Amino acid sequence: MTATANLATRLEGILGAHRVVAAEAELREYAIDGMVPGAIVHPASAQEAAEIVRFAITEKLAIVATGSRSKLDLGMPPARYDIALDMTGLHEIAHFDPGDLTLSVDAGMPLRHLANVLSEKGQFLPLAVPCYETSTVAGALASGIDSTLRKQYGTARDFLIGAEFVDGQGAPCKSGGRVVKNVTGYDLHKLLVGSLGTLAVITRLNFRTFTLPQARGGHLACFSNLEGASSYCDAIEKCGLPLANLETLSPEMVALTAAALRETNAEFAGHLDPAKWCVCASFEGSEAVVPRIARDLQKLASETAAADSEILDAASDAHLGSVSREAFDWLRWASPSAALFRIVLPQSKPGDLAALLCVAQESSLRSALLVRAAAIIYFVLLAETEDESALHTLENAAAGVFFLAGAGQGHATLLHAPLKLKSRVNVWGPKRADLGMMQRVKHSFDPQSIFAPGRFVGGI
Amino acid sequence: MPASLLRELNSLLGSSNVLHKNEDLVLYEYDGSVEKARPDLVVFPHTTEDVSRIVKLAAKYNVPVVGRGSGTGLSGGALARGGGILIVFARMNRILELDLENARAVVQPGVVNLDITRAVEHAGLYFAPDPSSQKSCTIGGNVAENAGGPHTLAYGVTVNHVTALELVLPDGEIVRVGSKHGDTPGYDLCGLFVGSEGTLALVTEITVKLTRKAEAVKTLLAIFDAVDDASNTVAEITARGITPAACEMVDGWTLCAIEDYIHAGFPRDSAAILLIEVEGLREAVEAQAAAVEDVCRTHHAREVRIAKDDCERDLLWKGRKNAFGALGRLAPSSYVLDGVIPRSKLPQALQQISQIGKKYGFSIGNIFHAGDGNLHPIVLYDPRDPRQFENAIAASHEILSYCVELGGALTGEHGVGMEKNELMPLLFSDADFDLMRRVHDACNPDSSLNPGKIFPLSKGCGEIRVRKQAETLPAHV
């Protein structure tokens, strides 16, 4: 009997044969950067998930909890990968109090289905993340990937109010609660956000929900250069217009966005000029507020010498918003070898952005840049081949990106790259001063390091 | 306390930064709660390095250390429950950096909350968390307790406004977590340390987000003849998805006390008022104010008054924020509770609080953040009467237990401290405590920082393992 078959047999002994899969074709679907698990387990409850965790502890096996598996290439591949714990079988809404705007939902609940349920009560969860149509709620949270609505609603840490999870000792634990304001005990649930499953297996999440806005709107302004686009964004920030999203696209990113829009076959009435820097704004509110914001943006665009600007109809804004939300996904595959960075810099200055583009130019690489909510930069370097020469070029350019991020008092993460490149650079950027504290936290949750070992910062 | 420790502290900080006489120490044995605990020594560091050296000395002498801001806390969090050294951050009160372009301020822990806003308001910015004690409470204390305030309904509590911390661990190591602009790769350590009540590390520097002032603001005073009508109004405002910047409720009994003290213009003959503020773009404010007024009228508000200018608005808020002081004039002491409930359960919670008050023979005032379900029942009592004190504690436990029963929590913003640690098993299992304990021990392995807080000490509460804390505390605790 092979090791895989043996593992599957023992897992079947715990949860039954119908919950365990070890067929090679299916195992490959759970691969992380080419690493394939020994078995896939489908728990149907938190208790079953805990049983598998306890088995893994006893057997010293490594577990990666999965949802829709749309973002498993974030971080490094795990150092060990014995069991893929597929959490999509936990998909119920445990509690929804529309009158309190609070929600408790199982880890594997798909975001799309959740949105449908909440919208029946005029509410929503502002987790507009890439791979939205397939993502699960816990996967979206654990990936830490940006929501395009973060400018208005914050990140998941701002509206996650509690969690239930299985810790690295196999114990079902909880943190927080189901009320919108709560300082009872340590906020351990906040640590789960963006943890890539390295601390615990999330089984349930509690959120505050939000009311769907009456109306939404969009606006597009194009500038002949980066400085113009930056002046416009500065002016928007200074007057404090409440926007749901504000994104600046480099000309190359405009072209990629236009192509992605075409692929959706959705009607888009706006004009994305691939020779210009474009600034896309989305906003929402009452029927009176939306046109007011649109008018103000038109005025600001005119005052900052936009080459072109237009108010988008609601449908066009929604289509552009969907494509922008998915940028992480389509940028990954925009060339045979793409290196996609997420960079955080203080109010991204034109000089900082120009320096990033210079890194690409000096390496003769195509690049595209998207600035979200003033400070989050998605920067992709696009190599046209997968050979060693391309990897070498990307490696050198990546070093330049990490250097610029550090020099600008910010930091960069390599979100996606060919595995060979990931193994040559530290995808999490230079070693951080708080790594020791993170290791202490990891050890507290997962003393035997059975959860996704090696995927996270500093080899955690 | 060894004399050599005092000598070493004097040598390290200078005698003007060390208190050791009983008449000095007595000033630091209390905070805003009903708890008391006297430290053995009080020290005033000026720098992070001072803090690190103090902590190392404390470790050498095996003496506990507790951080303290201005002592306005309401759960005994800044009291030296196990004796030892109280580190008072009052002299680490400098604003180190104002980065207005990026809306950030870097401050020392002893900076008073309101002073951040005063330093940046000329640029149209402010620091959003606004506890009632914001004129005197410090940002370090706000971080320790994850403090809230009326306007956190729309803007979030302290943790939503902190992006980086400098920490001193119990062995004196200085660690920085987070970053100025946030979104740091790795675990959300700021999210862990904010609200950890000084039990994981001492905070010596804080980077906070600054918020841009809204274009328009309207403050509404809705007056009700029945408490139920006021609480139903709050429930419907929430259910309709209206998010005011603040939604505060004050009952009629408390209003009279406020009027006697502040003369804020509150009615003396009502059952309750709601103080509701809406902020944002002019158009949004108009629409929200109209919607709020509509809900108030639907629930039989006797009158809905809109503050006509900043002066009237400030007066209304002055009345609200000084309410605890106003009630303090009515009895030798008051006990401010801090429970949280789902907002849809507000009417029944207020009825139950009233019944509990009657059961124990107290008039219980209610002045609280209704919009986020954060109750602050206030029990007036005479601490010189042991029976009254015991009854006040019993009433408090009953009210908080009821909050949990409704699906709520033990504290929304005051912290667990040494006030509610024995109630924690109402919410948490042994496994929950085990994990919290492991996280605690990863930072504070000997429980030398702020011992006797958050975790229950009594063996009856789920047989919680508190060996290390129990060993750190003196026998009388």
Q: Which tokens is A320 given?
A: 């552009």
- Please tell me the distance in Å from A311's CA to the nearest CA on chain B: 19
Q: Chain A contacts of B412, Cβ < 8 Å?
A: 179, 181-183
Min Cα separation B461/chain A (Å): 15
Share of chain B above pLDDT 90, in %: 82
pLDDT in tens, B426-459: 999 999 999 999 999 999 999 999 999 999 998 5
Sheet with B202-209, strands from edge to edge, namely: B95-99, B104-107, B202-209, B162-168, B174-178
Query: Can you give the pLDDT at residue B468?
Result: 45
Determine the residue of chain A that is closest to B408 in CA distance. A179
> According to the model, what pLDDT value does residue B459 have?
53
Does A215-325 carry CATH code 3.30.70.3450?
Answer: yes
Give pLDDT, residue A2.
64
Structure tokens at A268: 């888009």
Per the DSSP assignment, residues forming a β-bridge with B248 are B275
Which residues in chain A have their CB less than 8 angstroms from residue B102's CB? 346-347
Q: Which residue of B has its CA nearest to A348?
A: B102
The arithmetic mean of pLDDT across residues A386-391, rounded, is: 95
For A107-166, how does the pLDDT look when each residue is reduced to its tens digit (9 = 90+)?
Answer: 999 999 999 999 999 999 999 999 999 999 999 999 999 999 999 999 999 999 999 999
**Average confidence (pLDDT) over B10-19:** 98
Tens of pLDDT along B148-195?
999 989 999 999 999 999 999 999 999 999 999 888 999 999 999 999
Which residue in the set B156, B420, B431 is minimally distant from A172, CB to CB? B431
Q: Label residue A1 by pLDDT band (50, 70, 90).
A: low
A151, A183, A402, best to mutate vs chain B, most B CBs in 10 Å: A183
Query: How close does chain B come to A183, measured CA to CA in Å?
Result: 5
State residue B473's pLDDT score.
55
Q: Express each pLDDT in A9-22 by its tens digit.
A: 999 999 999 999 99
To which residue do tokens 């000329």 refer? B122
Instruction: Flag if A99 and B238 touch (Cβ within 8 Å).
Output: yes
Q: What is the pLDDT of residue B466?
A: 40
Taking residues A189-210, report their average pLDDT: 98
Cβ–Cβ below 8 Å for A174 and B182? no
Question: What is the pLDDT averaged over residues B387-395?
Answer: 93
With beta carbons under 8 A apart, name residues in chain A contacting B181.
344-346, 375, 409-410
Beta strands A376-383; A308-312: pairing state: unpaired
User: Which of chain A's residues have a Cβ under 8 Å away from the Cβ of B189?
Assistant: 434, 437-438, 441
Write out residues 210-229 of B within 8 Å (CB-CB) of A.
Answer: 212-215
Domains of chain B (ranges, CATH numbers): 3-90 (3.30.43.10), 93-212 (3.30.465.10), 216-324 (3.30.70.2190), 331-405 (3.30.70.2740), 421-472 (no CATH)
Residue ranges, CATH 3.30.465.10, chain A: 1-212
pLDDT tens digits for range A217-263:
999 999 999 999 999 999 999 888 999 999 999 999 999 999 999 99
For residues B320-324, give the mean pLDDT.
Answer: 83
Distance from CA of B391 to the nearest CA of A (A): 24
pLDDT at position A348 is: 63
CA distance B129 to B276: 17
Q: Of the candidates A183, A242, A434, which has its C-beta nearest B411's C-beta?
A: A183
- Tens-digit pLDDT profile for residues A262-303: 999 888 989 999 999 999 999 999 999 999 999 999 999 999
- Cα B342 to Cα B131, B268, B373, distances in angstroms: 21, 29, 6
CATH of A328-422, one of 3.30.70.1130, 3.30.70.1350, 3.10.450.50, 3.30.70.260: 3.30.70.1130
At B383 the pLDDT is 87
Residue of B nearest to A124 (CA): B241
Whether B460 has a pLDDT exceeding 50, the answer reads no
User: Taking 50 as the threshold, does the pLDDT of residue B462 lie above it?
Assistant: no
Mutation pick from A164, A182, A348 vs chain B, by most beta carbons of B within 10 Å, is A182
State whether B191 and A158 contact (CB < 8 Å): no
Work out the minimum CA distance from A247 to partner chain B, whole angstroms: 17
Nearest CA in chain A to B419: A184
pLDDT at A31 over 80: yes
Of residues A231, A327, A213, A331, the one with CA closest to residue A279: A231
- What is the reported pLDDT for B321? 82
Buried b (16+ CB within 10 A) or exposed e, A177-192: bbbbbbbbbbbbbbbb
Find how far residue A411's CA is from the centre of its chain: 16
Q: What is the mean pLDDT of chain A?
A: 95
* The pLDDT value given to residue B239: 86
Q: Do B372 and A456 touch (CB under 8 A)?
A: no
Question: Which residue spans of chain A are classified as CATH 3.30.70.1130?
Answer: 328-422
pLDDT given for residue B461 in this prediction: 43
pLDDT tens for residues B92-140?
999 999 999 899 999 999 999 999 999 999 999 999 999 989 999 999 9
User: Averaged over A59-84, what is the pLDDT?
Assistant: 97
Angle between helices B282-298 and B227-239 (to 10 degrees): 140
Tell me, what DSSP letter sits at residue B425?
A: G
Over residues A405-427, the mean pLDDT reads 94
pLDDT surpassing 70 at residue B351? yes
Task: Please identify among residues 112-151 of chain B the ones whose CB lies closer than 8 Å to any CB of chain A.
Answer: 124, 145-146, 148
* Topology (CATH) of A1-212: 3.30.465
Give the pLDDT band (50/70/90) at residue A3.
Answer: low
Say if residue B475's pLDDT is above 60: no
Q: State residue A408's pLDDT score.
A: 87
Are B341 and A179 inside 8 Å of each other by CB?
Answer: yes
- Give the pLDDT score at A426: 94
What pLDDT sits at residue A149?
96
User: Pairing state of beta strands B174-178 and B162-168?
Assistant: antiparallel
CA A181 to chain B, closest CA, distance in angstroms equals 5
Reported as a pLDDT band with limits 50, 70 and 90, residue B465 is very low
In chain A, pLDDT over 90 holds for what percent of residues? Answer: 93
Put simply, whether B413 touches A (Cβ < 8 Å) is yes
Query: CA A453 to CA A436: how far, in whole Å?
Result: 16
How does DSSP classify residue B112? B
